[in-house]
Structure formats: structure tokens, C-alpha cells
Amino acid sequence: MKRGRVGAFFGYAAVAAIVLAAIVALLIFRDRSPSRPTNAAAASTSSLLVMTWGPSLCKVEPFNSGCRSGHVGRLGQSFVLHGLWPQPSTEQYCEVPKGTPDRNRKPVSLPPDLQSSLKSMMSDSAVMTNHEWYAHGTCSGIAPPEYFGIAAALADQAGRVLDPLFKKAVGQRISARSVRETVDEQLGVGAGKRVGLTCRDASGAGSIAYEVRFSLPAVAQLRRDAPSLADALAGGPTVAPGCGQAGVP
């Protein structure tokens, strides 16, 4: 081998060795870096309790499994629990693959009494519990029974405030202002500033009131034994009122 080629060969070898060493160092650094636990809430600063008006759900999404089965209809004119979402919205699927279909994930294990409660307040608890846990609960910082127990307790209190208001408005229009005023009256002055109304378009019905979202502290900060919606709202960040007004099916 000529001297020039020998020099080039050793030069390439030296560069390759440097690159290989850099790759090995990077892998070692990653291995030593602490990984985020599955149910960590490291970046969660608050949360949203999301309640959907049942009749609106079936107007907007008639093919929803809970609407197709008739379960939402049997619940009558009432709100159903959509979920308890750690915020900001980027807090989803913590340390779990996002592309895996919910039906292929390990089913969430919950006590029978909690399963029964969720069945009575969700559109389709068999579908929703898995989705809500993996999409949102994994970022809550607590285990599934605690996470859904808090969500169920808060949803029950929210329904007692919202159901009568929306029942009176069926066939009419409701405003974000009236929702906020009702929350203020029943849950304390200032609570309404932490509630937002969302609206969606429904075929043949125009814009309809769809969801009410309650702004709360981070899920891990909520009381797990007997969470109070009024107390939780007092500690949540204020939010925009949402859509101005819309019809109530």
C-alpha cells in the first residue's frame, strides 16, 4: 500500500473511532438519565374536568358507541363525564406509545363499585376508561383507582350543578355567562371564572352547547378521599368563558 493511501486509511479509521466513541458516550448518557415514571405529573400545572351534555354528544357524534347502544339516551337529559385532563394539553400519553389503539392496551383494573359508578356517568365506560387513562391518567401522578375515583366524585358534583340548568334550557339557547353565574351561585363567588363552555356544530341543529370544562389544580393536588369541586375550583387557574351562546338539544 502506498504511503498516501496508508495515511488516508489511518485518517478515516481515526474519524470512525471518534464517531463510534461519541455514539457510545451518548448511549451511556441516555441510560444513566432518569426516566419519567409512567404516571408522572412532572409538567402538569393544572387540570380540566370535562363534562359533556349527553344529548349534544349524540347530536354531534351519532356513531359514538354509547349513543349507538342507547346507553347515553337511557341516562336522559344529563351530563356525562368525558375526563379529567392534566394540563397543559401536551400532557398526554406519558411514557406509553401514542400509536397503539386503545383496544390493544392492557385493560385498566378498577374496583367493582367504581366501575359501576363510571358506567352510570360515562358514555361507554368500557371504552372510555382505557382511553382516558392512557391518554390523560398516565400524566396525573396517581394510580388508576385514585384517578378515576376523583374524576367520578367531581363529576357527580358538577352534574348536580349543571343538569338542572341545562334541562331548563332544552330547546332554547344557553350562554357561557349564565353557566358561570350558576357556578358562582352554587360553588362560590369567583368559581365561574374557572369554567368555560364549548360549542360544536351539529348537522341540522347549528351550533349547540357541547361541553363544560372546570379548571382545577393539578390532579395530584386534589383530595383523594372526598374531593370538593368548590374547593378545587378555588385553586384552579382562571380560563376564558369559551363560546358565547348556543342551542341546547
The more confident residue out of 23 and 207 is 207
DSSP annotation string for 52-105 = EEHHHHHHH-TTSHHHHTTHHHHH-S-EEEEEEEEESTT--STTS-SSS-GGGS
pLDDT value of residue 226: 85
* Most confident region among 16-20, 48-52, 102-106, 219-223 by mean pLDDT: 48-52
- Stretch 178-201: mean pLDDT: 98
Q: Say if residue 88 is preceded by a cis peptide, omega within 30 of 0.
A: yes
Domain ranges, ordered by start, for the chain:
1-33, 46-247
The percentage of the chain sitting over the pLDDT mark of 90, rounded to a whole number, equals: 76
- Is 147 within 8 Å of 218 (Cβ atoms)? no
Distance CA 207, CA 200 (A): 5
Q: What is the pLDDT of residue 42?
A: 56
Q: What is the mean pLDDT of residues 36-48?
A: 69
Cβ atoms within 10 A of the Cβ of 234, count?
A: 15
- In eight-state DSSP terms, residue 41 is -
Tell me: the pLDDT tens digits for 104-139? 899 999 999 999 999 999 999 999 999 999 999 999
pLDDT for res 155: 98
pLDDT at 135: 96
- Is the pLDDT reported for residue 192 higher than 70? yes
Is the pLDDT at 208 greater than 60? The verdict is yes
CA dist 72 and 63 (Å) reads 12
Task: State what percent of residues in the chain have pLDDT above 70.
Answer: 83
Q: Output the average pLDDT for the chain.
A: 87
**φ/ψ (deg, to 5) at 135:** -75, -35
**Segment 150-158 mean pLDDT:** 98
**How far is it between the farthest Cα atoms of the chain?**
94
Residue that the C-alpha cell 474519524 belongs to: 15
Q: What is the pLDDT of residues 52-86, one digit of tens each?
A: 999 999 999 999 999 999 999 999 999 999 999 99
Q: Which of the two residues, 218 and 17, has the higher pLDDT score?
A: 218
Strands 195-202 and 206-217: antiparallel
Distances (CA, A) of 135 to 64, 78, 100, 102, 139: 18, 25, 11, 9, 8
User: Is 46's pLDDT higher than 70?
Assistant: yes
Q: Which helix (H) or strand (E) holds 206?
A: strand 206-217
Interatomic CA distance for residues 115 and 149, integer angstroms? 10
What is this structure's pTM? 0.83
User: For residues 30 and 233, what is the distance between their CA atoms, to the nearest angstrom?
Assistant: 40
Q: What is the CATH number of domain 46-247?
A: 3.90.730.10
- CA proximity to 91, closest of 45, 130, 129, 34: 45
Give the helix/strand (H/E) hosting 129.
helix 125-135
